[in-house]
Structures are given as structure tokens and as C-alpha cells.
Amino acid sequence: MEWLYHLGVPEDQIEELASTSANTVPVMMPYIDAFFMPRNDTDRPKVVPDGAVNFAFVGQFAETARDTIFTTEYSMRTGMEAVYTLLNVDRGVPEVWGSTYDVRDLLNASIMLRDGKPLSEMDMGFLEKLVAKKLLGKIEDTDIKKMLEEYHVI
């Protein structure tokens, strides 16, 4: 009934049409590993398919550029893209955060995987400690050492 309402069907006809004319086709949900399978841009429908004027696909199984599915942000971006495109809103969807290529994010993620503990608290053997000390000596007074300290790596 809600779908018919949003399509603009006159309200006095909605209940009748919903009970006598609506067909539902049950389908299988994708397996959870579908999120991680290799894919290309033809595996999923575009958010707003070519020629569409009043419908769009949103969520995890719609295709949008430069993003990774399985995130809330992906679902939000597909919704924004659908609305902006169909309503001709002159506004861009926020860019995807490029954390893949940001060494600061990689350092921070590495430390979070260690429960926030710096590498200096790792259980290392004598030889490993010696190598770590020598390497730290090589980066003394450098921007690299400052960054490692700032992100609590050392």
C-alpha cells in the first residue's frame, strides 16, 4: 500500500489494488560472501539506470563509483545519488575518504589492531629488540619519527 501511495495512485484505490493486484515474488538473499566477491561495474544495476526518470536502486547491491560496499556510507551515498539525480539537484555526493592511501590512517589502524599499544610494547626477543633500537636510531630527528610518535606507533 505504501508503495502504491508513493507511486501516486489515488488513495481511494490503494487498498483494493494492494489486495487484488499486487504480486510478490520471494527471492533468495545473497550469501554474505557476495560482498567480497570480485566484481565489475556490470554486476549490479546503476543507482539510476540509463533512461530512468522515477526510480532508482539504493543500498549494497547498486553500483556507484569509487566506493566499497558493506558500509553504511555506501548505502547513504547511493540514496543521495538517487535523489540528486532524479530531482536534478545540483549538488555532489560527498567523496569517498581515501584512507587506503593515507599512511596516517594505516598507522592508526595498525595500532588499533594492537589494542592501542605501541610497537615498543610488543613481546620481542633480544635480536628483534636490537634491530628495533638500531632502526629507531636511524630515524632520530626526522619527520618519520615524529609521525610514528604522533600516531603512537613508538
Over the chain (154 residues), the average pLDDT of each successive run of 10 is 89 92 73 74 88 90 77 85 94 78 85 86 88 90 91 87
How far apart (Å, rounded) are the C-alpha atoms in residues 113 and 59? 29
SS3 category, 127:
helix
Name the DSSP letter for residue 97.
Answer: P
How far apart (Å, rounded) are the C-alpha atoms in residues 133 and 149? 15
C-beta of residue 60 within 8 angstroms of C-beta of residue 31: no
147 is written with which cell numbers?
609521525
The reported pLDDT for the residue numbered 84 is 95
C-beta of residue 139 within 8 angstroms of C-beta of residue 119: no
pTM: 0.50
Residue at 89: amino acid letter: V
Please measure the distance between the N-terminal and C-terminal CA atoms of the chain and give it in whole angstroms: 60
The reported pLDDT for the residue numbered 99 is 67
Count of CB atoms within 10 A of residue 93's CB? 19
Task: Quote helix, strand, coil % in the chain, to nearest 5.
Answer: 45, 0, 50
